[in-house]
């Protein structure tokens, strides 16, 4: 499997001989800037913006810079093996597409385009409850590709059970429960543009296609959109859940359950005690709490606390192959990537998403090889130095 992913650079160079360039930059750190040129301010800042001053988003990136890879030589790293299994899902590399809602605001292809791109490279697509598209349509677009479902926990148990049943019926295998977004943070960029897609009926593909939710309404969403929109918003915002609600999820989901938004080791321990299968160390990319700890700074302590008792995934701030390698070295089983591929979607739809994913995988593959790591198991804390 010599440079199975890293070979993408050769493909790009050869295509360049015929005058064909990539659909967007191969440098994911530049995609935000170029996406800003093609998106309207509302959609752009909904993706790029953060809570408050943006301090948490900046901390995420600064944390990666404080850790440095220490390359080793003559390790025979000509061939690398990046494949693994994450919560029972075989993957060609430890990378998943993070759940991102309302993708139709950046490209008309929306979630199905991203799901097809993910399936084409074999990476799991984590569908958001806030999808512009129904569960069934995203599943159809995924084809045989691995797919997980992310839940924004509704206060109405019957609606929640219906949505989970639909996801299971559509062959979503793992449930990712987002804990940190039970209400929206103070997001100045969205507020300055008075931009919230949901109040315009965007990002409601899941509830508006759900028979139980529709049954609660006196008029259909098509007949009375405002009432349907407000009813749904009231179900998913304004109420924080508690640990004693977790058994409800286990009653209605027989696959792995992952809690997303864990940043404190005591919460990680409680996830273990509650019988959860995994956690995502995440601060929602800096979108929820201004001035919070960087996810990468939280990772080592959480790994030390529970790393032998459940699977630990990581997100918030991933932009390069080196970032992925650092998170894996610090104990993450896999990483979730969000904004970069959304910018790829904005640039070129499905092709843009695929390009960004292949670029990240190539970067990871080459970074591992050139730093002397042949397998994922070779990435350990000793691979790094903290500055």
Strands (E), 46-146: 67-69, 84-86, 89-91, 95-97, 125-127
Cβ-based neighbour number of residue 270 at 10 Å: 16
Q: What one-character DSSP code corresponds to residue 375?
A: B
Asked if 134 contacts 204 with a C-beta cutoff of 8 angstroms, the reply is: no
**Which CA distances in Å does 113 have to 5, 22, 42, 131, 138?**
21, 18, 21, 12, 9
- Upper half-sphere CA count for residue 135 (Cβ side, 13 Å): 23
Q: Which residues contact 124 (CB under 8 A, 6 or more apart)?
A: 86, 89, 91, 96, 97, 118, 145, 146, 147, 148, 174
Buried b (16+ CB within 10 A) or exposed e, 57-84: bebbbebbeebebeeeeeeebeebebeb
| Contact in structure between 89 and 173 (CB atoms under 8 Å) | yes
DSSP tag of 382: G
Do 387 and 345 form a contact (C-beta atoms < 8 A)? no
Instruction: Tokens for 184, please give them.
Output: 């929206």
Of residues 107, 193, 264, 284, which has the active-site annotation? 284
Query: 45 — phi, psi (to 5°)?
Result: -70, -25
Instruction: Let me know if 284 is a catalytic residue.
Output: yes
Number of H helices, E strands in the chain: 15, 12
Contact 153, 261 (CB under 8 A): no
- Separation CA 15–CA 283 (nearest Å): 39
Catalytically active residues are 284
């Amino acid at each position: 499997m010599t440079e199975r992913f890293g070979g993408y650079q050769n493909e790009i160079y050869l295509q360049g001989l015929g005058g064909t360039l990539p659909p967007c930059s191969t440098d994911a750190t530049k995609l935000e800037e170029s996406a800003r040129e093609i998106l309207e301010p509302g959609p752009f800042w909904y993706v790029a913006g953060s809570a408050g001053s943006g301090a948490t988003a900046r901390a995420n990136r600064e944390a990666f810079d404080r850790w440095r890879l220490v390359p080793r030589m003559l390790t025979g790293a000509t061939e690398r093996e990046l494949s693994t299994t994450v919560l029972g899902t075989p993957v060609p590399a430890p990378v998943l597409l993070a759940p991102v809602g309302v993708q139709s605001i950046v490209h008309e292809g929306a979630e199905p385009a991203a799901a097809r791109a993910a399936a084409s490279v074999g990476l799991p697509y984590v569908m958001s409850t806030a999808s512009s598209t129904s569960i069934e349509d995203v599943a159809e677009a995924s084809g045989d590709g691995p797919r997980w479902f992310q839940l924004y926990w509704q206060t109405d148990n019957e609606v929640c059970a219906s949505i989970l049943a639909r996801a299971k019926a559509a062959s979503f295998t793992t449930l990712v429960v987002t804990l940190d977004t039970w209400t929206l943070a103070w997001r100045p960029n969205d507020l300055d543009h008075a931009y919230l897609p949901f109040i315009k009926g965007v990002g409601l593909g899941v509830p508006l296609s759900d028979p139980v939710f529709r049954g609660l309404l006196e008029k259909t969403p098509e007949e009375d959109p405002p009432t349907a929109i407000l009813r749904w918003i009231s179900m998913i915002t304004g109420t924080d859940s508690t640990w004693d609600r977790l058994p409800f999820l286990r009653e209605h989901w027989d696959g792995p359950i992952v809690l997303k938004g864990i940043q404190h080791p005591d919460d990680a321990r409680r996830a273990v005690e509650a019988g959860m299968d995994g956690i995502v160390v995440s601060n929602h990319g800096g979108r929820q709490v201004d001035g919070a700890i960087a996810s990468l700074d939280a990772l080592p302590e959480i790994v030390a606390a529970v790393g032998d008792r459940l699977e630990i995934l990581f997100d918030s701030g991933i932009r390069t192959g080196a970032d992925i390698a650092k998170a894996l070295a610090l104990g993450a089983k896999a990483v979730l990537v969000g904004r970069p591929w959304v910018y790829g979607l904005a640039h070129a739809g499905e092709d843009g998403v695929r390009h960004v994913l292949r670029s990240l995988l190539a970067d990871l593959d080459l970074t591992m090889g050139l730093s002397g790591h042949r397998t994922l198991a070779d990435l350990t804390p000793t691979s790094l130095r903290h500055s």
